[in-house]
Amino acid sequence: MPQSSSLNLDKITDRNLRAVGEKVATGNRLSNQDAELLFSTPDLLGVGMLADYVNRRKHGDIVTFAANQHINPTNVCYLRKTCVFCSFARLPKEEGAYHYTLDQVFAEAETAATGLTKEFHIVGGLDMKAGLQYYSEMFRGLKARYPHVHIKALTAVEIAHIARIDKMSVEDVLRTLHEAGLDTLPGGGAEVFGRGVRMAIADKKLAAEDWIEVHRTAHRLGIRSNCTMLYGHVETIQDRVEHLRMLRDLQDESGGFLAYIPLAYHPDNNELGVELGRQGTATTGFDDLRNLAVARLFLDNFDHIKTHWIMVTPFLSQTSLAFGVNDLEGTVVREKIYHEAGAHTAQGLSLAEILDLIWSAGKIPAERDSFYNILRVFERDAVAA
């Protein structure tokens, strides 16, 4: 149950930030300049306090998570040479390239047979052999085997790729996949929308306007989606703010986004990491917390801000629950994409581990479905007893 909480602006040490705090206290929308200040002030605790205030008004002490499983059916991608931040993709004949048959996908999905997994999160490379038929049969097969499991699948970039190789419109691809069982879209592939950044890190990838257009079309068809930003590489503060502004604008227009998830860049095993001399170093905890907190404040029309523990560690994710975050990436089971890029986190977390992370942050864990309806709340004493 959302709680009211008070906001003591005297605790903010940066005077300029206090002026932003007054807007937050009165519920006024923040400007791009406000967001730039949030990204640059040294008073991270002040930013966190404001974000926590807004978050508590929306969600009280509840922190949600989903029992989900990641499946990556193919790492073959024709953009392998041009997305220089990517450690996951391979060319078709390159060592380590794989393309699952449908039976392999169904075998990997078998953990859902326990009834615990409630969502498949399915994304992969832009594989010329992975078109509309492949994914339609995959989703039909998964729904036939596990009708209770929600399918969140295919980034906007993959949807546009299927449209291109199957010579169809994005709208027809989305309609067909929706009929086959796709329920929602994940938020990947957005990277940073700014043209200069895209040219530097993902030259040939779907343009920002086209990424937005795929999500706009999905929302119009009643398919809800998530959105992301990959931060911590070559982007500027202005790039970050402009990216968030574009997401906020689409949310004003369609209301179709479920959650925003900032994604921390990992520099291992990719060209960009070598170019930047960043191999072995990831984003800082300071920046990770700031990205989450700023999102909570600037994206005032989003209900859910989610932390991706695989990228920033479960401990940072736990801390972020006091910085405006109300949703924690779920059980995952077997993560590949960020582990290829040097993530040292576990490939999955058990239910007990997730509950413990949330409880020990003084919050109340609640399992949710993919539309953020709460399925069960875990009171510590009730579970311990």
Residue numbers at the binding site for ligand SF4 (CB under 6 A)? 77, 79-80, 83, 86, 88-89, 125-126, 157, 205
Q: Provide φ and ψ at 260, rounded to 5°.
A: -110, 135
Beta strand segments in 149-239, E: 150-153, 225-231
Least distance in angstroms from the C-beta of 302 to ligand SF4:
24
Instruction: Choose between 56 and 243: whose C-beta lies nearer to ligand SF4.
Output: 243
| Residue nearer to ligand SF4 on the CB measure, 56 or 90 | 90
Burial (0-12, 13-18, 19+ Cβ within 10 Å), 44? middle
Which residue do the tokens 């990997």 mark? Answer: 108
Distance in angstroms (rounded) separating the CA atoms of residues 174 and 352: 36
Q: What's the min distance (Å) between Cβ of 211 and ligand SF4?
A: 12
**Min CB(62)–ligand SF4 separation in Å:** 33
Rounded Cα distance between 272 and 234, Å, is: 9
**Residue closer to ligand SF4 (CB basis): 79 or 97:** 79
Nearer to ligand SF4, 126 or 316 (CB): 126
**Facing residues of 368 across strands?**
374
101 Cβ neighbours under 8 A, 6+ residues apart: none
Q: How far is the CB of 187 from ligand SF4 (least distance, A)?
A: 13
Identity of the residue, 88 or 323, whose beta carbon is nearer to ligand SF4 in the bound complex: 88
**CA gap 280, 302 in Å, rounded:** 33
Closest residue to ligand SF4: CB criterion = 83
Contact 87, 340 (CB under 8 A): yes
**Least distance (Å) between residue 94 CB and ligand SF4:** 12
Least Å from the CB of residue 201 to ligand SF4: 9
CB-nearer residue toward ligand SF4: 54 or 77: 77
Q: Which residue has the tokens 């937005």?
A: 212
